[in-house]
């Protein structure tokens, strides 16, 4: 006799996932059950998912199956030569163009789930993200995957020492950097806050106010595609941008006031690009970046000068470790009034 769950599974469609985290930030990787995502390019696939399948993003990201700060990855067929896998990143408000913590986790996943053959001591995994091709390098010892570093797409300083009018705070000076996604950066000190000690709610409120101001007052552009030209979030830092062997802390607030638990891999990329632009660090000078939310750490360094259109840019290496937390299967029943998910604000 079939168990109750087996009877249900035989009638309903199921989305199956692998659950991971990097630096405390979750990554829900879609294993099966998602419809085919159409598009000749990965940005076209991102648009298709946004316009046609967003109900499924809400299903797996939001409550009751997810939570306010859930993060996800949908594997898609890559269209770039040399790419091993393609990926769309999802969060509480839509689809990102880059995710560093996700890339670190996906490096392990791609090997462990057979997308890439393991070689020791390090295996290269080429991941096509919406922002471009990101090269991950995964440590493999005795057949077991471990720490992962990645080389970013060209990262650059978009604007420095830019004044914006922020509601409730007056003029605030920000830097804007690109690390696969655009971020505004501002020191917590400007708001009388401390990224390691202040209430997360206060950090979120300050960051959200800055993001709203930048979105209203600054027109972003990216040389490759207009789909990349939007502000993803604001990163509140401890202000310690000049190189030091001591960790520097930050908290990233992105999407719909979503808090990254990790140090934010694409944010670290953009922050290093700004520091390099300001001559606060040099090539191959490694820094440690700490999450003000939970204390987890990434390392990062500028490794190569390059260009991105008219912008002087740099390739950044970010290193961290993704971990498995489980597997899951999700469905919905037609008579469930909240079957499509909800966001508790």
Please report which residue ranges of 138-227 form alpha helices under DSSP H.
Answer: 200-217
Question: Euclidean distance between the first and final Cα of the chain, in Å?
Answer: 43
Query: For the chain, which ranges sit under pLDDT 50?
Result: 1, 10
Report how many helices (DSSP H) and strands (DSSP E) the chain contains, helices first.
Answer: 6, 18
Phi, psi angle pair for 269, to nearest 5°: -60, -50
In angstroms, the CA 324 to CA 21 distance is 7
The pLDDT score that the predictor gives to residue 307 is 98
What tens digit of pLDDT does each residue of 13-41 get? 899 999 999 999 999 999 999 999 999 99
Catalytic residues: 99
Residue closest to 276 by CA, chosen among 244, 301, 251: 301
In angstroms, the CA 298 to CA 338 distance is 38
In angstroms, the CA 259 to CA 202 distance is 12
The pLDDT score that the predictor gives to residue 12 is 60
Contacts of 126 (CB under 8 A, 6+ apart): 82, 83, 84, 85, 133, 134, 135, 136
The pLDDT score that the predictor gives to residue 200 is 97
**In 10 A of CB 169, how many CB atoms?**
15
3-state secondary structure (DSSP) of residue 85:
strand
The first and second tokens of residue 1, run together, are 């006799």
The label of the residue with tokens 């598009």 reads: 39
In angstroms, the CA 252 to CA 181 distance is 12
310, 88, 129, 93 alpha-carbon torsion, rounded to 10° = 40
In angstroms, the CA 142 to CA 242 distance is 39
Dmax (CA) of the chain: 69
In angstroms, the CA 231 to CA 254 distance is 9
Sign, CA torsion 337/339/344/345: negative
Is the pTM of the predicted complex or chain greater than 0.85? yes
The pLDDT score that the predictor gives to residue 345 is 82
């Amino acid at each position: 006799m079939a168990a109750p769950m087996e009877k249900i599974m035989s009638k309903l469609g199921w989305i199956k996932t692998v659950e991971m985290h990097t630096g405390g930030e979750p990554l829900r990787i879609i294993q099966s059950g998602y419809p085919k995502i159409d598009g000749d390019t990965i940005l076209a696939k991102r648009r298709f998912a946004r316009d046609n399948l967003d109900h499924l993003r809400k299903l797996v990201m939001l409550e009751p199956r997810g939570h306010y700060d859930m993060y996800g990855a949908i594997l898609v067929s890559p269209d770039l030569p040399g790419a091993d896998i393609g990926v769309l990143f999802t969060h509480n408000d839509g689809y990102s163009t880059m995710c560093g913590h996700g890339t670190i986790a996906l490096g392990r996943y791609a090997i462990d789930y057979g997308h890439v053959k393991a070689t020791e001591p390090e295996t290269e995994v080429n991941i096509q993200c919406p922002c471009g091709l990101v090269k991950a390098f995964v440590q493999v010892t005795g057949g077991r995957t471990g720490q992962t570093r990645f080389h970013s797409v060209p990262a650059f300083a978009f604007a420095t020492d830019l004044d914006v009018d922020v509601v409730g705070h007056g003029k605030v000076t920000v830097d804007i950097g690109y690390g696969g996604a655009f971020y505004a950066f501002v020191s917590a000190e400007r708001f009388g806050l401390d990224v390691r000690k202040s209430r997360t709610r206060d950090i979120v409120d300050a960051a959200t106010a800055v993001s709203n101001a930048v979105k209203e007052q600054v027109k972003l552009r990216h040389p490759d595609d207009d789909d990349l030209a939007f502000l993803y979030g604001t990163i509140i830092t401890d202000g310690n941008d000049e190189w030091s062997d001591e960790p520097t802390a930050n908290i990233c607030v992105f999407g719909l006031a979503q808090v990254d638990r990790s140090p934010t891999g694409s944010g670290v990329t953009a922050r290093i690009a700004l520091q390099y632009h300001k001559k606060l660090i040099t090539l191959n000078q490694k820094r440690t970046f700490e999450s003000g939310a939970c204390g987890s750490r990434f390392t990062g360094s500028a490794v190569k000068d390059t260009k991105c259109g008219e912008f002087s840019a740099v390739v950044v290496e970010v290193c961290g470790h993704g971990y498995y937390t489980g597997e899951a299967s999700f469905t919905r029943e037609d008579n469930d009034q909240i079957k499509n998910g909800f966001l508790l604000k």
